[in-house]
């Protein structure tokens, strides 16, 4: 039975809201399929505004892969701003997709991709607007399966009450597998209802269904154990890993936004995973092993993506793009091909110790030299050893000196505040480092026309990292250190005007810490915040620390735990962590040893270039590191 478009009811509301164009759909390369010809229907959501959500690579890839299946359709939905939310509620317009403006509740699967935990309240808004019960236990066969993915899904426990299922890791293959399970179940007449469908998904070992697991607690609030509550449900759930990225050259037809978005470029993921071993970096830990795309596939994807989208900027993405074994040949081949055109190339993620000026020159051949960005992360040599960011002060000064001498005038440096074992002097070291960067630039250029911007965020311990046991720094200490750093920078008459300073205060980090390492009890806090008006918590103008603390005090009043217990408390080695039954492939003993090494300032090498150091991923996941060189070249591609 066909589902009618909601657009006739939505359209009269659009003149009354800001940026109405974000809700109308019809982007280049968007897909609208016949409802009746599809047997499995997905609504895919990035739980943030259109301008943030549309460029998201993960959602775009799944959208395209699912729509390539003959019996499957996928449409997109994003979080609506509060002005439209109020109108939708008053006029009875439910959450809709932007492709064909169909009601989200009519789909079989409602897949939500979480890059950050601060999108949880937006999930509740979307569920409520869609008419889907917030609590999974209240849903009927008329409701879609609410499925979470993305990096935050590696600990979905804080939103377990609101989810039917979650998947860990790469989505390309598991999305197709889930579609097949749903299709077969529907063709059989939906036996056993949604409970049977969830059981079929859970029994594969690749889909986590929270309702099939019970959590038991010690009297002091710690978790005693997490156990399956019915036969046939595995005790551990494993992440998914795509091993040949060349077989998945997506997106082939990138979406071109109608409204302004945060990234207006065509992005190619040149490799997935990272083994640099930065102890704070959840993305690097959970995406192991490293899997490179071949140089020829990268060239084909760039050529095809520009042709299909019309974008004039291409970003080569990964967690540390300059680490690709053939990045020099990639850069030269693409620069040769597009020299003289309006197509520019960018390398958004670059390590100080992987950067070289030849590479930068290739990428700037068709564009202006606006600035270079590096992330030392720690302000002192000692802190960089603690976090295993093996970048010395000499490395940084040498790199920026070369860049300034070659014509660059702006350098941006990223740091974190609140790292384990951090002291005041480590943060003030950021000011000394920034001043040395400016001095090096002035000496290299013979001019004072050089700039350095320091950008600082609060550190949040993340699951599946060596710092998952660490105590988070309280926001008062973080804010005090950031004020002292600001005063040190601004008070310097010789360098102060040449150094920009951007920082995020410590309060949002505490909330993120509560959500990232929380358990199922935190779901009550999320719901209380949402009921109190919490929306778009990743946006400074919408975030309210006071609302979160008020909700937490109320929601956890009858518990032996509070916000401090979840955030600034250090965990013991054998404490059961909320995500211990969710397997990212990392050996828990190895993570603990790396945490101990951090306390002793012991550094760990990158296993791409050194012998294996037994993190556990490759044997556990049945995978292996895949790096070049392939010995191939991009050219002969036709030079444009």
Higher pLDDT, 348 or 132: 132
Nearest to 416 by CA among 455, 359, 445: 455
Residue count of the chain = 640
SS (H, E, C) 505-565: CHHHHHHHHHHHCCCCCHHHHHHHHHHCCCCCCCCCCCCCHHHHHHHHHHHCCCCCCCHHH
Decide: 298 and 350 in contact? Cβ < 8 Å: no
Instruction: Give the phi and the psi of residue 596 in degrees, each rounded to 5.
Output: -65, -40
Distance CA(353)–CA(348), nearest Å, equals: 15
For residue 324, the model assigns a pLDDT of 93
Spatial neighbors of 388 by CB under 8 A, at least 6 apart, are: 276, 277, 278, 279, 594, 598, 603, 604
Residue 405 has a pLDDT of 86
Give me the pLDDT at residue 356, please.
Answer: 75
What pLDDT is recorded for position 1?
62
Measured in whole angstroms, the distance separating CA 346 from the mean position of its chain's CA atoms is: 20
Q: Does residue 609 register a pLDDT over 90?
A: no
Angle in degrees, CA 29, 31, 34, rounded to 5 = 155
CB 321 within 8 A of CB 347: yes
Confidence (pTM): 0.96
Report the pLDDT value the prediction gives residue 580, as an integer from 0 to 100: 98
CA-CA distance, 212 to 160, in Å (whole number)? Answer: 11
The better pLDDT of the pair 573, 365 is held by: 573
What are 493's two structure tokens?
């008459």
Q: Provide the total of helices (H) and of strands (E) in the chain, helices listed first.
A: 21, 18
Query: pLDDT grade, residue 357 (50/70/90)?
Result: confident
User: Tokens 């081949």, residue?
Assistant: 333
Task: Provide the pLDDT for residue 353.
Answer: 75
Burial of 316 (0-12, 13-18, 19+ CB in 10 A): buried
Other Cβ atoms closer than 10 A to 461: 26
Q: How far apart are CA 215 and CA 228, in angstroms?
A: 9
The H or E element containing residue 373 is strand 372-377
Q: Which run of H or of E encompasses 582?
A: strand 582-583
Residue written as tokens 């400074």? Answer: 540
User: Does 346 score more than 90 pLDDT?
Assistant: no
| pLDDT average, residue stretch 604-627 | 90
Residue with tokens 């693409």, as numbered in its chain = 334
Section 624-634 average pLDDT: 85
Q: Which of 19-23, 234-238, 353-357, 380-384 comes out lowest in average pLDDT?
A: 353-357
**In this predicted model, what pLDDT tens digit does every residue of 45-65 receive, in sequence order?**
999 999 999 999 999 999 999
Question: Both tokens of residue 219?
Answer: 């009297």
What is the rounded distance in angstroms from the CA atom of residue 622 to the CA atom of residue 257?
A: 39
- CA gap 457, 478 in Å, rounded: 10
pLDDT above 60: residue 179:
yes
Pick from 3-17, 397-411, 414-428, 573-587: least confident: 397-411
Interval 409-458: pLDDT, tens: 889 999 999 999 999 999 999 999 999 999 999 999 999 999 999 999 99
Per-residue pLDDT tens over the stretch 238-289: 999 999 999 999 999 999 999 999 988 999 999 999 999 999 999 999 999 9
Give the model confidence (pLDDT) of 181-220 as tens digits.
Answer: 999 999 999 999 999 999 999 998 899 999 999 999 999 9
Return all residues near 483 (Cβ < 8 A) that are at least 6 apart: none
Long-range contacts of 603-607 (CB under 8 A, 24+ apart): 603/385, 603/388, 603/390, 604/277, 604/388, 605/277, 606/275, 606/276, 606/277, 607/275
Give residue 638's pLDDT. Answer: 54
CB 639 within 8 A of CB 333: no
In this prediction, residue 371 carries a pLDDT of 72
Rounded Cα gap, residues 577 and 586, in angstroms: 14
CA distance 280 to 388: 9
CB 299 within 8 Å of CB 334: yes
Nearest to 362 by CA among 327, 344, 330, 335: 335
Strand partners, 223: 217, 576
Can you give the three-state secondary structure of 153-177, one letter per residue? HHCCHHHHHHCCEECCECCHHHHHH
Asked if residue 639 has pLDDT above 60, the reply is no
């Amino acid at each position: 039975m066909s589902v009618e478009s909601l657009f006739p009811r939505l359209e009269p509301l659009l003149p009354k809201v800001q940026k109405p164009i974000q809700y109308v759909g019809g982007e280049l390369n968007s897909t609208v399929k016949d409802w009746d010809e599809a047997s499995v229907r997905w609504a895919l959501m990035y739980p943030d505004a259109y301008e943030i959500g549309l460029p998201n690579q993960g959602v775009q890839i799944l959208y395209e892969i699912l729509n390539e299946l003959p019996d499957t359709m996928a449409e997109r939905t994003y979080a609506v701003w509060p002005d439209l939310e109020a109108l939708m509620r008053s006029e009875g317009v439910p959450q809709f997709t932007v492709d064909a403006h169909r009601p989200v509740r009519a789909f079989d699967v409602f897949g939500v991709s979480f890059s950050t935990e601060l999108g949880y309240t937006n999930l509740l808004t979307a569920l409520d607007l869609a008419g889907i019960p917030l609590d999974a236990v209240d849903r009927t066969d008329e409701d879609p399966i609410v499925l979470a993915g993305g990096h935050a899904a590696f600990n979905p426990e804080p939103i377990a009450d609101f989810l039917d299922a979650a998947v860990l890791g790469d989505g390309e293959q598991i999305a197709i597998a889930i579609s097949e399970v749903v299709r077969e179940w529907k063709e059989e007449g939906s036996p056993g209802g949604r409970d049977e469908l969830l059981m079929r998904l859970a029994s594969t070992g690749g889909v986590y269904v929270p309702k099939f697991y019970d959590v038991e607690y010690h009297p002091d609030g710690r978790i005693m154990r997490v156990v399956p509550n019915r036969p046939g449900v595995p005790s551990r759930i494993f992440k998914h890993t795509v091993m040949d990225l060349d077989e998945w050259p997506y997106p082939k037809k990138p979406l071109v936004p109608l409204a302004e978005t945060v990234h207006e470029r065509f992005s190619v993921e040149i490799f997935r995973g990272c083994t640099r071993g930065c102890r704070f970096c959840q993305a690097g830990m959970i995406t192991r092993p490293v899997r490179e795309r071949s140089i020829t596939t990268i060239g084909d994807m760039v050529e095809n993506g520009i042709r299909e989208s019309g974008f004039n900027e291409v970003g080569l993405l990964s967690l540390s793009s300059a680490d690709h074994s053939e990045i020099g040949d990639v850069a030269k081949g693409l620069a040769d091909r597009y020299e003289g055109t309006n197509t520019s190339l960018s390398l958004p993620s670059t390590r100080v110790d992987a950067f070289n000026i030849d590479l930068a020159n290739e990428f700037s051949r068709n564009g202006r030299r606006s600035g270079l960005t590096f992330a030392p992360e720690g302000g002192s040599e000692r802190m960089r050893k603690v976090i295993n960011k093996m970048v010395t002060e000499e490395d940084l000064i040498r790199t920026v000196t070369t860049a300034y001498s070659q014509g660059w005038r702006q350098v941006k440096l990223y740091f974190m505040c609140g790292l384990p074992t951090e002291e005041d002097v480590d943060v003030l070291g950021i000011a000394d480092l920034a001043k040395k960067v400016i001095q090096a630039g002035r000496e290299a250029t013979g001019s004072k026309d050089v700039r350095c911007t320091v950008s600082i965020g609060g550190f949040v311990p993340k699951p599946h990292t060596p710092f998952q046991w660490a105590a988070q720094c309280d926001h008062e200490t973080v804010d005090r250190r950031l004020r002292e750093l600001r005063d040190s920078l601004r008070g310097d008459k010789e360098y102060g005007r040449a150094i920009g300073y951007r920082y995020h205060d410590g309060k949002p980090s505490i909330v993120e810490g509560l959500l990232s390492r929380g358990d199922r009890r935190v779901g009550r806090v999320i719901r209380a915040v949402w009921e109190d008006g919490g929306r778009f918590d990743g946006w400074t103008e919408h975030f309210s620390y006071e609302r979160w603390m008020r909700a937490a005090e109320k929601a956890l009043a009858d518990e032996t735990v509070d916000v401090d217990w979840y955030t600034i408390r250090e965990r013991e080695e054998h404490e059961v962590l909320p995500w211990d039954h969710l397997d990212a492939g990392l050996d828990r003993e190895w993570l603990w040893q790396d945490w101990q090494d951090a306390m002793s300032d012991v550094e760990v090498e990158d296993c791409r270039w050194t012998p294996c150091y037994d993190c556990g991923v490759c044997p556990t996941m049945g995978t292996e590191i895949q790096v070049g060189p392939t010995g191939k070249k991009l050219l002969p591609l036709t030079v444009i």
